[in-house]
Structure 1
Amino acid sequence: MMRFHGYFRSSSAYRCRIAFNLKGLDYEFAPVPLKDGAQRGAAYTALNPQALVPSLEIGEGEVLIQSLAILEWLEESHPEPAILGRDPLTRAKERGFAQVIACEVHPLQNLRVLNYLTGTLGAGEEQKAAWLTHWLRAGLETCEALLARRGEKTPFCYGDAPGLADICLVPQVFSARRFGVDISDLTHVLAVDAECARHDAFVRAHPENQPDFAA
């Protein structure tokens, strides 16, 4: 069985949990308490030299890191149900949407970045809040624009079933709310998020429903 190392509040781990649920895959969960610095311990860095979550042990000593790589591996090794569209154009759009979040937005809200901002650089709480509002809004505004220009309106980002784009969008919306960023004007983003909130795979993946949840 796969062994998944994550943290309840990590957006990247959240993405993987949604995908596991959508594909009906079981895994053993190994919590990595980021607030306690467990990710920097010798045992974990031996597994993942980047000292980040998630990590996925898939057997025979093989370990996968980085959520998008894990999602792509899941799609290739467990193709049904699919989380990417059937045609190359749709897949490219889904990957581009996902990368807006995973590559451009999420890293700037990462715990180690925020700790550097307030610690080494001496930013105050107001400055940190301004930083988060600027970057999270910028990324989700891009997502809003991408959703608005779809050829047809669909309940999920790119179709009638959730896929890679939804998997990345929902944790980012959760983060925006957690950090107090107002996104009430992003109607397309909120419509997709609301649709996902009714889907069992997303409900079971929510941070509050994880065994390591802490308020």
Structure 2
Amino acid sequence: MSALRKWLFTGLLVIVPGAITVSVLHWIVGLLDQTLLILPAAWHPDKLLGFHIPGFGVVLTLLILLAVGATASNFAGRKLVQWGDALVSRIPVVRSIYSSVKQVSDTLFSESGNAFRTAVLVQWPREGVWTVAFVTGAPSGEVAAYLRDEFVSVYVPTTPNPTGGYFVMVRKSDCVELEMSVDAALRYIVSMGVVAPADPLLSTPKSTP
């Protein structure tokens, strides 16, 4: 029985990651394939080839992103984006949603942004209990004036699903900055501590005299 149990768990360790990966990729490809709906019906690959090949939507999405990015990177494109932002900001209900989403996306995806660039250790949910969190910025405005001391804004993700979590503000002196990358910290969180990041002191090659 012990051998059967061992084989069962070994099989799960081999099958489950692959099955979940395939399921997630299948969902993403299926979602991106909906991009083909913007094309005229006569241009659909299914119509042209006579059969369905998954993944054309992914290619089309990448081409659209590259085209929009290239257009928005030049002077005329930036002006067009600014004109669009100004137009949307005049629509009563839409402007509140759009401005919030744009601020978050600018913070997360901008090359000059600092969100999720640093992993730290913080005491959460009480003193003496530590967890890994990510620095998202610093308090400003009325919040910063009230706190007075030097605080940082951090996101404390839940495990094993890091898309949910808590936004808290803690003193900078109470945060321990980690040398691990954000990817390594996420793997550590998702695995519930099973996949421990490598020790940077051990991975750094020693200099020869």
Q: Which has the higher contact order (CA 8 A, sep 6+)?
A: 1
Q: Which has the larger radius of gyration?
A: 2
TM-score normalised by L of structure 1 = 0.22
TM-score normalised by L of structure 2 = 0.22
